[in-house]
């Protein structure tokens, strides 16, 4: 939700967003597309942009948006996604020489926000008490010339490592600018659950 809020600040609109969801419950499988932009996430972002909305309203909308996202993630993980199926139909149609306006429109969609999370696979390093040993993460490149690629991971309980990529050739994007909006968004979300503003020192590690 913080990424969606940051992107709205940066672009002034909601954009098609890609997030991979694991489907390793199934043999020889890899990922399915999880689409983070939902009606619930849009309601939350709009509330955060509305100066007249209350903290309670924003907090409840955030909870709703996260709940919808979690349920969608479960659906994707259990084989109920749509994008891999549509991709195969696109490949078959092209290979067999069929023309489908619907599939052509689907294939030509631009993923302006492409995101990925790196899970923590080991507890060999306590990143909360060993800040110098925090793994910085990896990168996830932008897949559209005027879009962003965002890779993130949770480093222990006190830091989030984020890598943002974009094309220098695009006047519509700026990784540094997006990073600032993302820091502000994360702090704004934290403030919804705390009467005291988040410690500014944390921003240096985000």
Integer Cα distance of 86 and 68 in angstroms: 23
Q: What integer pLDDT is reported at residue 45 of this predicted model?
A: 98
Q: What is the mean pLDDT of residues 162-190?
A: 96
State which H helix or E strand residue 149 sits in. Answer: strand 148-155
Confidence of residue 156 (pLDDT cuts 50, 70, 90): confident
> Exposed, middle or buried: residue 179 (CB in 10 Å: 0-12, 13-18, 19+)?
middle
Tens of pLDDT, residues 96-135 = 999 999 999 999 999 999 999 877 766 667 777 776 667 6
Q: What integer pLDDT is reported at residue 200 of this predicted model?
A: 44
> Domains of the chain (ranges plus CATH)?
2-78+110-120+129-205 (3.30.559.10)
Tens of pLDDT, residues 140-153 = 889 999 999 999 98
Q: What is the mean pLDDT of residues 181-204?
A: 75
pLDDT at 204 over 60: no
Pairing outcome for strands 159-165 and 113-117: unpaired
Q: What integer pLDDT is reported at residue 88 of this predicted model?
A: 94
Task: With CA atoms as reference, report the closest residue to 156 among 189, 132, 178, 140.
Answer: 132
Q: What integer pLDDT is reported at residue 112 of this predicted model?
A: 97
- Three-state DSSP class for residue 170: coil
Q: What integer pLDDT is reported at residue 194 of this predicted model?
A: 82
CA dihedral sign, ordered 50, 56, 58, 64: negative
pLDDT at 93 over 90: yes
CB atoms within 10 A of CB 134: 17
| Average pLDDT value over all residues in the chain | 88
State which H helix or E strand residue 117 sits in. Answer: strand 113-117
């Amino acid at each position: 939700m913080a990424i969606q809020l940051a992107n709205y600040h940066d672009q002034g609109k909601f954009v098609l967003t890609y997030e991979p969801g694991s489907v390793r419950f199934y043999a020889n499988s890899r990922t399915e597309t999880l689409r983070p932009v939902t009606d619930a996430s849009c309601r939350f972002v709009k509330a955060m942009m509305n100066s007249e909305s209350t903290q309670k309203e924003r907090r409840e909308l955030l909870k709703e948006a996260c709940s919808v996202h979690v349920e969608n993630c479960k659906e994707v993980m259990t084989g109920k996604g749509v994008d891999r199926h549509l991709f195969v139909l696109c490949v078959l149609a092209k290979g067999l020489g069929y023309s489908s306006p619907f599939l052509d429109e689907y294939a030509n969609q631009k993923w302006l926000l492409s995101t990925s999370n790196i899970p923590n696979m080991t507890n060999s390093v306590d990143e909360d008490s060993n800040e110098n040993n925090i793994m910085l993460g990896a990168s996830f490149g932008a897949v559209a010339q005027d879009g962003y690629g965002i890779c993130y991971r949770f480093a222990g309980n006190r830091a989030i490592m984020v890598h943002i990529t974009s094309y220098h050739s695009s006047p519509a994007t700026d990784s540094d600018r997006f990073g600032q909006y993302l820091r502000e968004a994360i702090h704004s979300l934290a403030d919804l659950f705390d009467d005291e503003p988040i410690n500014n020192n944390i921003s240096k590690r985000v």
